[in-house]
Chains A and B, each alone.
Chain A
Amino acid sequence: MYAYDELDRTLINERVSEFRDQVKRRLSGELTEDEFKILRLQNGVYLQLHAYMFRVAIPYGTLSSKQLRRLAHVARRYDRGYGHFTTRQNIQFNWIKLAELPDALADLAEVGIHAMQTSGNNMRNVTSDQWAGVAPGEIEDPRIWSELIRQHTTLHPEFSFLPRKFKIAITAAEHDRAAIKIHDIGLRLHKNADGETGFEVLVGGGLGRTPFIAKTIKPFVPGRDILSYIEAILRVYNQYGRRDNIYKARIKILVHELGIEKFAKEVEEEWKAMGDVGLTLDHTAIEEVRSRFSYPPYEKLPHMPDELKKAAHDKLFERWRKNSVSAHKVQGYSIVTLSLKPVGGPPGDATAEQMDAVADLADKYSFGEIRVGHEQNLALPHVAKRDLPALFKALDRLGLATPNVNLVTDIIACPGLDYCSLANARSIPIAQELTRRFANHDTADLIGRLHINISGCINACGHHHVGHIGILGVEKNGEEFYQITIGGRADENAQMGTLIGPAVPYAEVADVIEDIVEAYLALRDRPEELFVDTVKRLGVEPFRERVYATR
């Protein structure tokens, strides 16, 4: 865990007081809606279909039980008793009143949570691997770097009014769980030939209207230089990024228009010209931040405790364990993923009661720590293996033990037409219908790892481009239609999916997905060949045929 100190807390409080003043000026008419809009966005406040929507940051996806309880409190006190975990390690509340927002922020500030820069044209919440610090084989805990960057980019006086939003993601593990290749800047921590730790820096990734996979701008930037290098990238972007057209304002367009070599040269020149401006992180600075991350006092535990051997006879437990429990750095411990994707439920939603209960379970079984991943699930990062059976029972009672992590019903979906003013089509009901279609765990298990991602419009909040199966809502003559792509992925081999054919009407989406899955089962080489790999091997044609032959 990272502990905010007096300085961090002071800054958050100062921000709350500033926002309180801004809301007051808006309510009194001193600020026009146009002026206020930018200010509220910088504090995570959108105006949506039904009400104001409030987006709260969960930097690099780490929460303490105390913080999660406070989120539950906000859900209960200021909203309708639930929150929605998103693909960006944020939580959103959909029914909040403007006049009450400063109070909600003040309540959150007490436990070191804020909504700074969760939207607006500035540097957004820095995201990272939800298994950071516990993933076996990682280079080092990427959250130390995430935190350094979080601090550096918070209320940055030069980069708070960029051409567009700006997202940074960091991974330190071989398997990329942070989707760094679809971010404005992606950072991959690795060691160079001299054993020195640094970053491969990628730029220009992103989804939305014009999706791009990020390109490597520099294979190795030493850790001590990462802040100045990011500053150089941002300075080039701030000056040359387009502002005439919001659809072309993201850094991915600048990188694309200039070409990565030219862009890299601009950045390199700027970086050299910067010289020493106090951004170099010496050993003491890095250690300062590192020292404020605390790690649990792990016990020496057996690899295979009796409790686990005994529980292995319970079929339900075993199914859940195989699906939701992952290897941990420390022997005798596990990482447990809590599925927020129950059959028939909106992906990523959690009630205040569930949040409170998870906080209690984290205290009991995970040293008070919770993680939030971009797949819209939660995780308990330090569970002793002997406690797994008891934890399973408790989660099952809460509806958080659905054994579908990474399976076909572990669907990522944006809010779509149910909440979002930009939507063309519904997302949540499609997800709900699909979870019902594939509710049979044996079938889902047979299908194996398969990610379905759904967005209600081209903005791609549900990451549809990088879903193994992507579903994108479009509008045709006032009706909801959906384009289907296959073969996308968001990991270290990130790739955009390919469209399989004309959009299909709402009522047919679930059938089409079933067809695609059946085609896969018939076409795969062997049971271990993942859906995406089959698509890679065969291309989209056989799937296209299967879907459109009878339609």
Chain B
Amino acid sequence: MPLVKQGRLTTDLFVHVADGAELPGDGAVLVTAERFLADPEALLRRPGKLGVIWPNNRNLDELVPHLDRLASVALVFPTFRDGRAYSQARLLRERYGYDGELRATGQILRDQFVFMTRAGFDAFEVKKDADADAFAHTMKRYSVFYQPTGDGRVTALNRRMQLRHSESAGQ
């Protein structure tokens, strides 16, 4: 699965470790929420970065206390049309101040990149190679955004007000 991170195709340093499987001695791993919550301390003590795959129907309250020690949170899009992880992403970034990697996994196509980036994702496990290749191009498609989100883009409304302000200042 191609991984796009910081706008570029990257090698994925994280290894997805299935629930029953043994953990590698070191290196970055992604584990499920269940495995993580069973013994967070043990996992966090382990050398190597730790990421958690958080299902889209699980309350974030259980995750929040551990956020500052996690290198990655992977949120899940089981289907293209299930948008719960967008809300989770915004909450993690904007409400809980999570600043590690926020990864989108599951059914990821280029048509969601803009939405996902705006919601706070910065890493994408993309389904199709062509979509991963198109990332940079796709991200340039939109230049106008109506609503404020944690991505800091200036909204259309704010741009208009700035424009007015500078117009009236110039008079």
In the complex, what residues of A have CB within 8 A of residue B82's CB?
161, 243
The reply to whether the CB of A197 lies closer than 8 angstroms to some CB of chain B is no
State the majority secondary structure of interface residues on B.
Answer: helix
| Interface 9-mer from B26-34, B67-75, B137-145 | B137-145
Q: Is there an interface contact between A152 and B147, defined as CB atoms closer than 8 Å?
A: yes
Residues of B within 8 Å of A156, CB to CB, are: 146-147
A156 to B119, CA, bound (A): 9
Contact with B along A290-320 (1 / 0, CB 8 A): 0000000000000000000000000000000
Task: Enumerate chain A interface residues (CB-CB to B < 8 A).
Answer: 5, 7-8, 10-11, 14, 17-18, 22, 30-31, 35, 38-39, 121, 151-162, 235, 238-239, 243, 273-274, 277-279, 284-285, 288-289
Q: Is the CB of B161 within 8 A of A285?
A: yes
12 pairs of residues in contact across A and B, judged by CB atoms under 8 Å: A17-B141, A30-B130, A38-B81, A153-B147, A157-B116, A157-B149, A158-B115, A158-B149, A161-B82, A277-B94, A278-B148, A288-B161
A151 with B144: CB separation less than 8 A: no
B156 partner residues in chain A, CB cutoff 8 A: 7-8, 11, 151
| B147 / chain A contacts, CB cutoff of 8 Å | 151-153, 156-157, 279
The residues of A that contact B145 with a CB separation of less than 8 Å are 155
Chain A residues with Cβ below 8 Å from B142 are 11, 14, 18, 155
A11: chain B residues within 8 A (beta carbon): 142, 144, 146, 156
- A284 to B143, alpha carbons, bound, how many Å? 23
Q: Are A239 and B149 touching (Cβ within 8 A)?
A: no
Query: Chain A contacts of B114 at CB under 8 A?
Result: 155, 157
Q: Are B141 and A158 in contact (CB under 8 A)?
A: no
B103 at the interface (CB under 8 A from A): no
Q: Does B90 make an interface contact (CB < 8 A)?
A: yes
From residue B170, how far is it (CB to closest CB) to chain A in Å?
18
Q: Judging by beta carbons under 8 Å apart, are A14 and B141 in contact?
A: yes
Q: Which residues of B contact A7 (CB under 8 A)?
A: 144, 156, 159-160
Q: Which residues of B contact A (CB under 8 A)?
A: 80-84, 86-88, 90, 94-95, 109, 111, 114-119, 130, 141-149, 155-157, 159-161, 164
Please measure, in the bound complex, the distance between the C-alpha atom of A155 and the C-alpha atom of B153, giving whole angstroms.
14
CB-defined contacts of B141 to chain A, threshold 8 Å: 14, 17-18
The reply to whether B157 and A285 form a contact with Cβ atoms under 8 Å apart is yes
Contact between B87 and A14, CB atoms less than 8 A apart: no
Q: Is B157 within 8 A of A158, CB to CB?
A: no
Could you tell me if B84 and A151 are in contact, using CB atoms closer than 8 angstroms?
no
User: Bound state CA distance, A460 and B53, in angstroms?
Assistant: 41
Q: Please give the distance in Å from A185's CB to the nearest CB on chain B.
A: 16
The reply to whether A157 and B115 form a contact with Cβ atoms under 8 Å apart is yes
Interface centre among A5, A39, A235, A243 (most CB of B within 10 A): A243
With A35-B109, A157-B149 as contacts: A151 and B157 at CB distance below 8 Å:
yes
Please give, as numbers and ranges, the residues of chain B lying within 8 Å of A159 by CB-CB distance: 83, 86
Complex: A288 Cα to B90 Cα, angstroms: 27
Given contacts A151-B156, A238-B86, contact A160 B144 (CB under 8 A): no
| C-alpha spacing A239/B86, complex, angstroms | 10
Q: How far is the CB of B107 from chain A (nearest CB, A)?
A: 9
CA distance A58 to B115 in the complex (A): 24
Instruction: Determine the chain A residues whose CB is within 8 A of the CB of B84 once the complex forms.
Output: 238-239, 243
Sample of 15 more A-B contacts, CB < 8 Å, known A7-B159, A152-B146, A238-B86: A5-B160, A8-B156, A14-B143, A18-B111, A22-B111, A152-B147, A157-B115, A157-B147, A158-B87, A159-B83, A161-B86, A243-B84, A278-B148, A288-B161, A288-B164
Of the listed residues A31, A158, A289, the one surrounded by the most CB atoms of chain B closer than 10 A to its CB is A158
B residues less than 8 Å from A235 (CB atoms): 87
Known contacts A7-B160, A14-B142, A278-B148, A273 near B86 by CB under 8 Å: no
A155 near B83 (CB under 8 angstroms)? Answer: no
The listed residue (A8, A38, A285) touching B80 by CB distance below 8 A is A38
Residues of A contacting B119 with CB < 8 Å? 157-158
Set of chain B residues within 8 Å of A288, measured between Cβ atoms: 157, 160-161, 164
B35 to chain A: closest CB distance in Å?
23
**A39 nearest CB across to chain B (Å):** 6
Name A158's contact: one of B90, B111, B130, B143 (CB within 8 Å).
B90
Q: Is the CB of A14 within 8 A of B148?
A: no
Cβ B143 vs Cβ A154 within 8 A: no
- The chain B residue with its CB closest to the CB of A39 is B111
Task: List chain A residues, Cβ under 8 A from B115.
Answer: 155, 157-158, 160-161
Query: Once the chains are docked, how many angstroms separate the CA of A152 from the CA of B159?
Result: 14
Which of the listed residues A10, A152, A239 has the most CB atoms from chain B within 10 Å of its own CB?
A239
The answer to whether A10 touches B143 (Cβ under 8 A) is yes
* Residues on the B chain within 8 Å of A18, using CB: 111, 141-142
Report the Cα distance A238→B119, complex, angstroms. Answer: 14
A17, B144: Cα distance in complex, Å: 14
Q: What are the 5 A-B residue pairs with the smallest beta carbon separation, nearest first? A: A161-B83, A157-B118, A278-B148, A11-B144, A157-B115
> How many whole Å from B106's CB to the nearest CB in chain A?
12
CA distance A238 to B87 in the complex (A): 7
In the complex, A289 Cα to B145 Cα: how many Å?
Answer: 16
Partner of B148 from A39, A238, A239, A279 at Cβ < 8 Å: A279
A284 touches B161 (CB 8 A): yes
